[in-house]
Structure 1
Amino acid sequence: MIGDTPAPAAAPYSGNAVEGHGLVKNFGSFRAVDGIDIAVPAGTIYGILGPNGAGKTTLLRTLLGIVDPDEGHRTLLGADQPLRMARQVGYLPEERGLYPSMKAFEAIAFMGALRGLPLAEGRRRAKAMLEGHGMGASVDKPIRQLSKGMAQTVQLFGTIIHEPRLIVLDEPFSGLDAINQEKLEALIREQARRGVTILFSTHVIAHAERLCERIAIVAGGRIRFEGTPGEARDRLRPQVRLRTRTIDGAWRRALPPDTMAEDGAWHFALPDEGIEPLLRALIDDSAGIESLSIERPGLHDAFVAIAGADAARAMDAPREGEDT
């Protein structure tokens, strides 16, 4: 809701909203983007997932036309020259900045004006947007008087005030507390329901798992995986946790070779033939099943398997400006 009535759906766009083929970007001897192919289907929420320094920001800027690739080509909303589509794009960079003396609604309207939205209409929409999201008391406040979370929300509103067809967010959750992160997730879903394509980068796996229809896992300037979160998780077999009353017996021979004992329970990957043969052995030999659970691997487990433990540790490390 931007005004008092529901915002119209974004103009339909078929095919891929963003494409990159063989993209390479060097900074001196450092290769930040190393031969990336990427396609973001229109109308999807697409996440680029990777640790700091993986090349996410450079990739986004290359796709947007802010920097040109050294090799390869890209299209944005069908245009070979991405900057020609700038008025149909909302971009929130990781390095954020607002004029501290500007009032909240004026800052939003100003950002809309930079994308061709008439200033008067931007002011009207900005006030309605702030009031509609419980920030009516902040409409006339200068940015310097807002909390960090509120100021970041104002900049996000400025990113979408002109009702773009594509929204690109670089680490949008950085520096936000849990409440504001939930609000941002809700806002992303709201825009997606309007048919807008959302492309965002993040180092927080949970956000990608909750929001994204497709993801690209990036490490060392390369895409290590592209697909749905479910497809990433399916690269690992489900894990079984079994607790029995007896600790020995003929049934032990039915346990898979990778079985490990930990915290009084047996842990192993679900066998290819399923759990039924093991269950029969446990029952026939009176093992005494106390508990048995089969857990599907999470996206974090898949990320470790795809990108490696070092990349996963870098993902988990606090970033500058974030709460620890």
Structure 2
Amino acid sequence: MLRLDGIHRSYGDRLVLDDVNFGVERGRLTGFVGGNGAGKTTTMRIILGVLTPDSGEVTMDGRPLDAEGRRAFGYMPEERGLYPKMRVAEQLTYLARLHGYDRGVADRRARELLESLDLGERADDNLEDLSLGNQQRVQIAASLVHDPEVLILDEPFSGLDPMAVDTVVGVLTERAARGVPVLFSSHQLDVVERLCDDVVVIAGGQVRAAGGREELRERYAEPRYEISSAGDMGWLRAEPGVQVVDFAGGWALFDADEETAQRVVRTAISQAPLLEFTPVRPTLAEIFRDIVRDESETSGTAAGEAPAPDLNEQHETIEEPVR
């Protein structure tokens, strides 16, 4: 397991990471989510040894990480850092050779990886001749070409269309199935929800929640129900213990404890035929908003903390056409 314990980091007088603790287990995909400025990239750079924490420790399987151990890591930064005028396969081959592969093996690995990412036909094109979405996939290939033992990805799905997202998800899932710990950050919470086994939520430099996806649902979700009746449900607004979230005539979405919800059902049946009653599972975006809002209300917004992202905003995921 990759583990962070007691990580603190400041820039001057500004505390950026405050007692960060979480683990990334082998064979599991861990989503790292938070608003801009929450501390995700700083945390990743500390894992990689690019930055040094003021205090705390990063370990792998219980042993402190050193430069040699980190050579086995694969990393994709949010900013593109490859050579635009260099051929794609040649570039990946070069990176694999830096990790000790001979030219023949390195070239074969590069081309096989490009095929798995649906870029085989572009292997001998210059990077700058690819669309931005395809360049993003090459960045992902660069993090994988040396067969890393740990994978750290910063916004890997940025700029990818839905088909490309599915392709990348398949590659990452295959790596996790081999026992590789995979940590990635993303603002696209629908992708995180679909892909991840575990989720770490960070805000204001502090880990607000960490655990399995379903565990977080159970821990943080408010009991919510959907009800539909042949009659008007307007009476529900006055029911004690009920908070109506949304309402439209004979349909309502409401929060209540289990006992109150059952009372609502009995009342609805007594007034008109009941068409539907079901618990509603919260999305990761809803849980994220609730966690960050509750922490802010409890402790106040941390100094220097950026606001959480607008999760109702539709993030752009359309890939440019291939030229």
> What is the TM-score of this pair, normalised by structure 1?
0.84
- Could you tell me how far 1:260 is from its partner in structure 2? 5.9
Which moved further from structure 2: 180-189 or 306-315? 306-315
Q: Does 1:272 align with 2:252?
A: no
Contact 2:224 2:253 in 1 (8 A): yes
Contact 2:117 2:171 in 1 (8 A): no
Contact 2:237 2:243 in 1 (8 A): no
- Could you tell me how far 1:69 is from its partner in structure 2? 0.2
- Could you tell me how far 1:282 is from its partner in structure 2? 3.2
- 1:66-102 Cα shifts (integer Å, max 9, x gaps): 1110111111354413322123211111112211221
Q: Does 1:237 align with 2:222?
A: yes
Q: Measured at CA, do residues 314 and 62 of structure 1 come closer, stay the same or move farther in structure 2, by a change above 3 Å?
A: farther
**Where does 1:190-209 land on structure 2 (aligned, <5 Å)?**
190-209=174-193
Contact 2:223 2:258 in 1 (8 A): no
Counterpart CA distance in 2 for 1:80 and 1:92 is: 22
- Give the one of 182, 200, 206 matched to 1:222: 206
Q: Does 1:110 align with 2:94?
A: yes
**Where does 1:131-142 land on structure 2 (aligned, <5 Å)?**
131-142=115-126
Match of 2:81 in 1: 97
Aligned length: 306
Match of 1:12 in 2: none
Match of 2:21 in 1: 37
Q: Does 1:163 align with 2:147?
A: yes
AA in 1 matched with 2:149: R
- Give the one of 276, 280, 284 matched to 1:295: 280
- 1:170-215 Cα shifts (integer Å, max 9, x gaps): 1111122222222111111111122211111112211211111111
- Could you tell me how far 1:270 is from its partner in structure 2? 4.4
> Helix, strand or coil: the match of 2:258?
coil
- Could you tell me how far 1:122 is from its partner in structure 2? 0.9
Match of 1:28 in 2: 12
Match of 1:8 in 2: none
- Could you tell me how far 1:245 is from its partner in structure 2? 3.4
Q: Which segments of 5 or more consecutive residues in structure 1 lack a partner in the other structure? A: 1-15
Match of 2:55 in 1: 71
Which moved further from structure 2: 72-81 or 184-193? 72-81
Counterpart CA distance in 2 for 1:279 and 1:315 is: 32
Percent identical among aligned pairs is 31
Counterpart CA distance in 2 for 1:22 and 1:50 is: 19
Match of 2:297 in 1: none
AA in 1 matched with 2:255: A
Counterpart CA distance in 2 for 1:250 and 1:229 is: 36
Q: Does 1:263 align with 2:263?
A: no
**RMSD of aligned C-alpha atoms?**
2.8
AA in 2 matched with 1:279: V
- 1:140-189 Cα shifts (integer Å, max 9, x gaps): 11112112122221221121111111111011111222222221111111
Q: Measured at CA, do residues 246 and 156 of structure 1 come closer, stay the same or move farther in structure 2, by a change above 3 Å?
A: closer
Which moved further from structure 2: 288-297 or 87-96? 288-297
Q: Which segments of 5 or more consecutive residues in structure 2 lack a partner in the other structure? A: 295-305
Contact 1:108 1:155 in 2 (8 A): no
Q: Measured at CA, do residues 245 and 127 of structure 1 come closer, stay the same or move farther in structure 2, by a change above 3 Å?
A: closer
Contact 1:55 1:221 in 2 (8 A): yes
